[in-house]
Amino acid sequence: MINAPGVRRLGKQLLLIFLCSVLSVTAFAESPNSVIEEAASLLDDAVRGRRNELAEDKDALYALIDEILLPRFDRKYAAQRVLARHWKTASSEERERFINAFYNQLMRQYAEAVLEFDLDRMEVLPYRGDDTKKRTTVKTTMRLDNGTKVPVSYAVVKRDAGWLMYDVAIEGISFGRNFREELNIEIQAKGLSGVIERLEASESESEGAAE
């Protein structure tokens, strides 16, 4: 199950691949699979030989992820799907603040998992979807320490800049759906503005602790 310790650690690693899934896309990749394959390889190259350095310097770790992620991850679409019906009633300012706060929370919450990523444990399965559609799924497996292979699916959307990631599911459990359910309860209790303020405050506390 997704709550098992090994799968929880795997989940953090995979969300970082999800966040860094289109590291060098300047035109449409030949297939959605090639985006994930390239992303995993580039992610591995980015931290190789720097794991200890990045573990000690959180600002450098955040900067590495932010540099390769920000222009290429579909933050707006991911945030819109997480907010669901609340997106329609949110003001333009609330939408922009939520996009930024949600993105920053994801990056900081899962950044350290990039240091544990092992490319040799990942297998991208042959693509069986329809890449002529706007949205599709790339299927992979990740091998745990005990040899168990965990199914992982990456949801991608086609944009002018190429294929962009917006969700990842482990054993059929979607990170986006989990966030949506958690935040929906919180939004009902304190309102969207309260949730945004909490996310922004959490970011400020994280930055203060790193100084």
Tell me the per-residue pLDDT of 40-87, one tens digit each, with 9 for 90 and over: 787 788 888 888 999 999 888 888 777 666 656 788 999 999 999 999
Domain hosting 169: range is 5-210
Which residue shows structure tokens 């990456």? 154
Q: Tell me the average pLDDT across 185-211.
A: 84
pTM of this structure: 0.78
Token pair for 153:
């699916």
Looking at the 3D structure of the chain, how many domains does it have? 1
**pLDDT at position 188 over 50:** yes
Residues 112-165 pLDDT 10s: 777 887 889 999 999 988 888 999 999 999 998 899 999 999 888 998 878 888
Beta strands in the chain (DSSP E): 122-124, 135-143, 149-159, 162-170, 173-174
What is the DSSP-derived secondary structure letter of residue 131? T
Q: How confident is the model at residue 209 (pLDDT cuts 50, 70, 90)?
A: low
Question: What's the pLDDT tens digit per position in 25-39?
Answer: 434 445 788 878 877
Sheet holding 135-143, edge to edge: 122-124, 135-143, 149-159, 162-170, 173-174
Contact 165, 155 (CB under 8 A): yes
Is 170 in contact with 150 (CB distance < 8 Å)? yes
pLDDT bin (cut points 50, 70, 90) of residue 168 is confident
Does residue 23 contact residue 68 with C-beta atoms inside 8 Å?
A: yes
Assign residue 108 the CATH number of its domain.
3.10.450.710
